[in-house]
Amino acid sequence: MKKGLLIAFGELFLKSPKVQKIFKNKLINNLKQFLKKGCFDFKIYAQRERIFLETDQEKKAEKIVNKVFGIAWFSPVVFFEKASLFEVSGFLSKNYKNWIKEKESFAIRLKKGEEIKEKRDQIIEEIAKKIKRKVNLEKPDREIFIEARKEGWYLYFKRKRGAGGLPVSSGGRVLTLISGGIDSPAASYLMAKRGAENVWLHFHSFPLVSNRSIEKVKSLAKIFLEYQPHLKIYFFPLAQIQMAIKTRVLPKYRILLYRRIMMKIGEKIAQKENCYALATGESLGQVSSQTLPNLQIIEKAITLPILRPLIAMDKEEIIKMAKKIGSYQISILSQEDCCTLFTPKHASAQGRLEDIEKIEKNLDLKKIISKSEKNIEILKF
């Protein structure tokens, strides 16, 4: 008899057998990397429809598994390797009182592989007669889950909902723009949930302002490592570019120019990192640069897709997600936002692409950007 967690896949079964195998291997690899950080002994057994995680530290393992994308549900389990029906029913006969109180009802939920010789009714009857409690198939107080498979019998009592989604890195890589605020970490979380491995890009205005945004992003990275096994971050100094724009561009256009320049820089880094898209924490209409006309102007700066997983969410929904993933308390710490440096209180909500492109031609952006690129800092977590 072995103890541990039984893990069920999420959307993997919607994929072809070939893709299932690839995704399953990525999920197992992610699990191993997360569990190794926990510094405890474990073994992983990959089965056809399940993963059995053998460990004697179930509670510690649960906290880690609960945040791993690609898992539909998991449960503490007792595994009887290559056992017989007699052994399983005997174990339940001796121990059912630990799980089912005297006045509680129960139901048996059986999943049986074709290789198990006993018939379904025979298994249920053999086990049920050993449990001296009332049966209620519709609304039982307790459920006994049994999975009889070729490798052995799994016995568990409660399924716990997993993180869902797809295994991180199964959907390729995406370059996510991280400001240090509430929105962008939530967007990064959603991209990871859909199987995309995040590479982060943070624009800062140090030394024109303090380095607080840089330190915040480093702290957010430690939180994010609970959802993605490893993380690479580019810290790009925007101060020189902002100074050049300040002296030559009307205030109402500055934010749009900042955003387009960020996208151009992001696209270059994304191509270097083999990322298929950029991702941002933009939400429709939240600020002037996030109106539909201005989003269109920003998008036309590059050819790579720009993904906006928060686009239809309001601020309260985003805050709720940030609290859920643990980033909120760090995100609300004060910082100077590089996008608001040298900009008016009321920027244009509807710019003109022709005007913006004309300004960019006069700025000689390639020269301005190349100077700042020399001071990029890259950190790996």
pLDDT in tens, 327-354: 999 999 986 665 555 555 656 666 788 8
What tokens does 17 get? 């057998």
Structure-model confidence comparison of residues 200 and 354, the more confident one: 200
Helix (H) or strand (E) holding 89: helix 85-95
Share of the chain above pLDDT 90, in %: 73
Antiparallel, parallel or unpaired: β 105-112 and 142-149: parallel
CA atoms within 13 A on the CB side of 189: 26
Of 1.20.140.10, 1.25.40.10, 3.30.2130.30, 3.30.1380.20, the CATH number of 2-164 is 3.30.2130.30
| pLDDT at residue number 350 | 65
The highest-level CATH class for domain 173-380 is alpha beta
Alpha carbons 241 and 207: distance in angstroms, whole number: 13
Are 216 and 249 in contact by the 8 Å Cβ rule? The answer is no
The pLDDT tens digits of the residues spanning 223-263 come to: 999 999 999 999 999 998 988 888 888 888 888 999 999 99
Average pLDDT over the chain, rounded to an integer: 92
- The residue type at 43: K
Residue boundaries of the structural domains of the chain: 2-164, 173-380
- Give the pLDDT confidence score for residue 337 in this predicted structure: 60
pLDDT digits (tens, 9 = 90+) for 148-190: 998 999 999 999 999 999 999 999 999 999 998 999 999 999 9
pLDDT of residue 339: 56
Lowest model confidence (mean pLDDT) among 73-77, 100-104, 346-350: 346-350
pLDDT value of residue 17: 85
> Is the confidence at residue 40, as pLDDT, over 60?
yes
Confirm if 23 and 170 have CB atoms less than 8 A apart: yes
Task: Quote the crossing angle between the two packed helices 183-193 and 212-224, to the nearest 10°.
Answer: 30
pLDDT value for 206: 85
> Residue 10's pLDDT is what?
81
In the predicted model, is pLDDT for residue 82 greater than 80? Answer: yes
Cβ atoms within 10 Å, residue 37: 11
Listed in sequence order, the residues at least 6 apart from 225 whose beta carbon sits closer than 8 Å to its beta carbon are: 37, 231, 381
**Mean of the pLDDT values across residues 291-297?**
92
Q: What is the pLDDT of residue 45?
A: 94
Q: Is the pLDDT of residue 107 over 90?
A: yes
pLDDT value, residue 255:
87
- AA letter at 206: F
pLDDT of residue 343: 59
DSSP one-letter code for 196:
P
Rounded mean pLDDT, 39-61: 93
